[in-house]
Amino acid sequence: MKLNCIIDTCSCITLSNAEFQQRTLLEYFNSYAYLNYSAEVHLELRDHSEKNLPTFIHNKKRQLKVMKYSMNEYERRMMGRVLVSRKKNENKGEVDNFLVSADQIHYSKISSVVFITDDETAINGILSKWFDSFPVIKLWTSFEVVLYLYAEKVIPTRDIALDLIKEIISFTAPRPTERSPETTKKLTRILVAYNQRIDNIHNLLN
């Protein structure tokens, strides 16, 4: 059974720029998940088409509409105002994706939704309290996609899985020469944590 996923622009880009055996993680994951998004993310993907994004992710059929209220009404209820499309620092893509997720769960009656984003500003900002309120919406980053594909044996070895974690860190983090000591420590903690999770999967399923 395929996963029901709502994915944002930054995760599409990240997963399209990490690969093994001549295929990207986004291509592999597309075989195991329904990858959908809001209308705003569709616009964002179009604006970032030069960033190694595959043709299939631009398919308009992936763009989900909300059912219970209009998107403007949902934004008013969540944010107190209507957000401006493609405005910098507005986080409209992430907000609208979350609203689509909630609408899918509680109006369209989809049993579960995986919300995928690598946008730490959104995760730790406006979205943080909303995830606590809607526990059926499961938050993933691109790192969790690696864990899932490894557990499904799509990623064939522990070493490849760990290399992909390192590749995602390298792609999403500042260059080594531009990292502060705090950033370096944070990235080390991430690597250690996901190394342990990969080992857990290996010990249980291999």
Q: What amino acid occupies position 96? A: D
Distance CA 145, CA 76 (A): 32
Beta bridge partners of 115: 6, 139
- pTM value is 0.96
pLDDT of residue 150: 98
pLDDT of residue 15: 98
Same-domain pairing of 9 and 84 = yes
DSSP conformation class of 19? E
pLDDT of residue 4: 97
Same-domain pairing of 14 and 83 = yes
Residue 145 lies in a domain: no
pLDDT of residue 89: 87
Residue 149 lies in a domain: no
Full domain range(s) for residue 168: 157-205
Q: What amino acid occupies position 20? A: F
Same-domain pairing of 71 and 172 = no
The count of structural domains within the chain is 2
Same-domain pairing of 112 and 183 = no
Average pLDDT of the residues of the chain = 96
Same-domain pairing of 19 and 78 = yes
Same-domain pairing of 9 and 85 = yes
Neighbours of 36 (CB within 10 A): 21
User: Mean pLDDT of residues grouped by 10 in the chain (206 residues)?
Assistant: 96 98 98 98 94 95 97 97 93 97 94 95 90 94 98 98 98 95 97 98 96
Same-domain pairing of 111 and 161 = no
Q: What is the pLDDT of residues 37-90, one digit of tens each?
A: 999 999 999 999 889 899 999 999 999 999 999 999 999 999 999 999 999 888
